[in-house]
Structure 1
Amino acid sequence: MDRWTGVLKIQLYPNSKTLYRVAASLALSSSPKNLAVPSGNAIFFCGDRVEKTDNPVIGRLSNPQTIAEILVSKFGGSINAYVIEASIFNGPFAVYKDFIPSVSENGEPKSYDATGFPASASLVMLLSKFLAEAKTIILGKQKEPYQAEASASLSCKPKTALLGFSKGGTILNQLLTELAFSDVQSAEISANKNDWIMPTSKDQLLNSIAEIHYVDVGLNSEGAYLTDKDVIDRISELLTRRANGIRTLFHGTPRQWCDERRIWIRKEKNTLVRLLQKAAHKNMGKLQIRERLYFPGKVPDLQMHFEIIDVMDVT
């Protein structure tokens, strides 16, 4: 399957002075060259920037286009992969203020709240605008109206895999909080009307979530992992009414999970794992949990923090 790869800067709101840098690798139909309906969408949220590094591994894995290509290699050639950087950086610190309404000046969350569904609404809008620009580039001056071509092997709507790397894990926490308060039945009824490349509403997006990957998540404050029992209980109950389940995978390294100066990271991760395991007993196996430590026994360093992107097992 042919692919289009590129990096675009997207303005989320008309009067916004900031731009989101989004890298993508998109599946194309064979002929004519249009976007194909993917088997799934993998969406990766980046963390803070590393400034002035001479380490070639960190440099390569800080490149959003490289990360998009890695996602395709892991999730399969029929997926669409998106890598999203924050629109605001305070020095090296990523600030996702459009996704998380209450953050510090360094982008650390003060709370997670579903009110207004900021993360899901912003994500749908951001990727919708990205796809509109990408289609213009792909089709060029072609006058034929855009039509997505679905693979004959696709029998269901594309599912969404969400990956949060480092501080990008805070977006997963916000999206899970919004999922807990979403309208599943409304999303499923709407979803059956037609195929899509990306969900076109926040409820469709939230209902399409099939995988959550925490990728070496950590913060300099509390809030790296979701620890709200009410939210997890709501998600567990919601899954009993939803057609598809959710796999939650925890990928970690000694740099985050074994950091004695930030012991809350390991404690929060363990709390979330326990909450999910308890919830899994109540929804007929629709919650699956995997936990993997990479580079065990090695001295924690910054390279392993980025190298996990390359070696993580998403199965």
Structure 2
Amino acid sequence: MDRWSGILKIRLHPDSTIFYRIAASLALSPSSKKLAVPSGNAIFFSGDRVEGTENPVIERLSDPQKIAEILVSKFGGSINAFVVEAAIFNGPFAVYKDFIPSVNEYGEPKSYDATGFPASTSLVLLLSTFLAEAKNVVSGKQKEPYLTEASSSSPCKPHTALLGFSKGGTVLNQLITEFAFFSESQSAVKEDNWIVPTSKERLFNSISEIHYVDVGLNSEGAYLTNKDVIDRISEGLAQKQLGIRFLFHGTPRQWCDERRIWIRKEKDALVRLVKLAARRNAGKLHLRERLYFPSKLPDMQMHFEIIDALDVS
């Protein structure tokens, strides 16, 4: 399948002076050269910046366009891949304050609260704007615009995989919280072909996988440990056809850090909650946990190498 790849700077609102840098690799229909309806969308949230390492592995795996290409290799050539970076950085620290309003100056969350649905609202706005701007950018480079409409050959709606890397896991926590409290009465949506989830209804109805990728913070809150949230998700899945997989990917860098023991404790707590919920919901909730590079000493390189090594099966 043909693809278009690029990085665009996207405003969340037309009058905003702050830009999100988003890298993407989008599926095109080889026959019509139009943007294809993908089999799924993989949306990856990045973490803090790491600069000055002079390590070629870290440099390569800090490149959002390279990460988008890796996502396509992991999830398949018929998906769309998006890599979202925070719009605000305090030095190296990513601050996702449009997604999580209750963060401090270093981007560390004070709490996760579904009120106002900030993360899902921000995400669908960014994806919608990105899609519109990508069409304009590519059309301007071609003799005949081919990103003006979608090929509708896909027989079913796309699924969505959410991935949070390092501090990007905080965005997952907020999205999961909002998903748990999103009313079933709000979730009815026409099941037509669509390219990216451009509404909260489509986003929440399409989520099939949630990947925590070596997440960690210098404070508590790296993993969601709210039992009510997980129970609500489990109960809601009983009414849906689509199940959800929680996948926990970690390295000794985060899970074995004796100076930040809360990371492992929070991860273990969330794993227990998901396991308990999975026993009650007739197979709609699934879990997989993987430790990468278990025989290596913790270092910064493995924290990034996990992106290359990621097993999403």
The TM-score with structure 2 as length reference comes to 0.97
Specify the alignment match of 1:75 in structure 2: 75
**Could you say if the C-alpha distance between residues 56 and 156 of structure 1 is closer, same or farther in structure 2, counting changes exceeding 3 Å?**
same
Give the whole-Å Cα distance in 1 for the aligned partners of 2:120 and 2:55. Answer: 35
Specify the alignment match of 1:191 in structure 2: 190
Give the whole-Å Cα distance in 2 for the aligned partners of 1:181 and 1:168. Answer: 21
Q: Does 1:132 align with 2:132?
A: yes
Written as runs of structure 1 = structure 2, the 5 A alignment for 1:185-224 is: 186-187=186-187, 189-192=188-191, 194-224=192-222
TM-fit CA distance, 1:138 = 2.3
Unaligned 5+ segments in structure 2 are none
Task: Give the letter for the 1:111 counterpart.
Answer: S
The answer on whether the counterparts of 1:191 and 1:204 sit within 8 Å (CA) in structure 2 is no
- 1:146-201 alpha-carbon deviations (Å, 9 max, x no partner): 220033xx3210000000000000010000000001134542x3132x21101221
Specify the alignment match of 1:51 in structure 2: 51
Q: Does 1:228 align with 2:230?
A: no
Written as runs of structure 1 = structure 2, the 5 A alignment for 1:81-230 is: 81-140=81-140, 142=144, 146-151=148-153, 154-184=154-184, 186-187=186-187, 189-192=188-191, 194-230=192-228
The answer on whether the counterparts of 1:184 and 1:203 sit within 8 Å (CA) in structure 2 is no
TM-fit CA distance, 1:137 = 1.9
The answer on whether the counterparts of 1:33 and 1:138 sit within 8 Å (CA) in structure 2 is no
Which segment is superposed worse, 207-216 or 136-145? 136-145
- 1:17-41 alpha-carbon deviations (Å, 9 max, x no partner): 2100000000011243210000000
Task: Give the letter for the 1:273 counterpart.
Answer: V
**Could you say if the C-alpha distance between residues 34 and 216 of structure 1 is closer, same or farther in structure 2, counting changes exceeding 3 Å?**
same
Task: Give the letter for the 1:150 counterpart.
Answer: S
Task: Specify the SS of the correspondent of 2:59.
Answer: helix
Structure 1 ranges of 4+ moved more than 3 A: 141-145
**Could you say if the C-alpha distance between residues 143 and 313 of structure 1 is closer, same or farther in structure 2, counting changes exceeding 3 Å?**
closer
The answer on whether the counterparts of 1:24 and 1:83 sit within 8 Å (CA) in structure 2 is yes
Give the whole-Å Cα distance in 2 for the aligned partners of 1:20 and 1:144. Answer: 25
- 1:233-262 alpha-carbon deviations (Å, 9 max, x no partner): 100100001110000100000000000000
Q: Does 1:292 align with 2:294?
A: no
The answer on whether the counterparts of 1:225 and 1:268 sit within 8 Å (CA) in structure 2 is yes
TM-fit CA distance, 1:298 = 1.0
Report percent identity of matched pairs.
Answer: 73
Size of the aligned set, in residue pairs, is 311
Task: Specify the SS of the correspondent of 2:288.
Answer: strand
- 1:197-221 alpha-carbon deviations (Å, 9 max, x no partner): 0122112201110000000000000
Q: Does 1:258 align with 2:256?
A: yes
The TM-score with structure 1 as length reference comes to 0.96
The answer on whether the counterparts of 2:99 and 2:119 sit within 8 Å (CA) in structure 1 is yes
The answer on whether the counterparts of 1:216 and 1:252 sit within 8 Å (CA) in structure 2 is yes
Kindly report the root-mean-square deviation, in angstroms, between the aligned alpha carbons of the 2 structures: 1.3
**Could you say if the C-alpha distance between residues 221 and 32 of structure 1 is closer, same or farther in structure 2, counting changes exceeding 3 Å?**
same
Unaligned 5+ segments in structure 1 are none
The answer on whether the counterparts of 1:38 and 1:150 sit within 8 Å (CA) in structure 2 is no
